[in-house]
Homo-oligomer: A and B are copies of this chain.
Amino acid sequence: MARLTRDLIVSAAIDVIDRHGYEQFSVRKLGEALDADPTAIYRHFRSRDELLRAMGDRCLAGVVDDLPVASWRDCVRELCVRIRAANLAQPALATLVRGAPPRHDNELQITETILARLRDAGFGAEAAAFAYHALIELTIGSAAIDSTMASETMDGRTRIYDEWRAHYAELDATIFPHSVELAASLYPGTADERFEHALDRLLDG
């Protein structure tokens, strides 16, 4: 028999999420996508949670490959952008991986790469450690905030952003004068651009 394997299931599961969104994901839908009985999945994963963790691991693969050999700043910047992208690809799964006790290989490689570039750039031990934590926190934070929008299409995002700006613009100007005034300026550009802007300011500091 052996039609199903862990890798096959993980691929199909990520495919389901990509197509129908994370909230729509369920073991039953996954079974349908695999054209197999939903409970067959439990022959390969102890629980839905274990499957989700495996999906999270899959998403982190390849983040440190082929980084530009340019300046330390460009390299670290690119790495942070990729980490955020990987987190955004599967937001709920990324949080699961982050909380897991055993630190995974990909995570270790990311840490090593960032530290190496910072040290090469002349950062001292303390300074490199602080900079590393600051970069990771901003990166993960940006991903966490933007994760809700990640499942939307491009048109859907701009539409939602427009709704938010409209909502801000319609607030009581006597209570929220600055929010009303700056409503049109909020959520400027894409979320990616906002993150990279923040990242640049942090790298400035």
Contacts and interface: CB of A to CB of B under 8 A. Distances in A.
Interface of A: 95, 98-101, 103, 108-109, 111-112, 115-116, 119, 125-126, 128-134, 136-145, 147-148, 164, 167-168, 171, 175-179, 181-182, 184-188, 194-195, 197-198, 200-205
Copies held by the complex: 2
Contact of A129 (B129, B139, B171, B188): B188
Given A129-B188, A176-B108, A201-B205, A100 B148 contact: yes
| Candidate in A194, A200, A201 with the most chain B CB atoms within 10 angstroms | A201
A45 to B, nearest CB: 18
Contacts of A136: 145
A109 B178 CA distance: 11
Given A98-B144, A112-B179, A128 B185 contact: yes
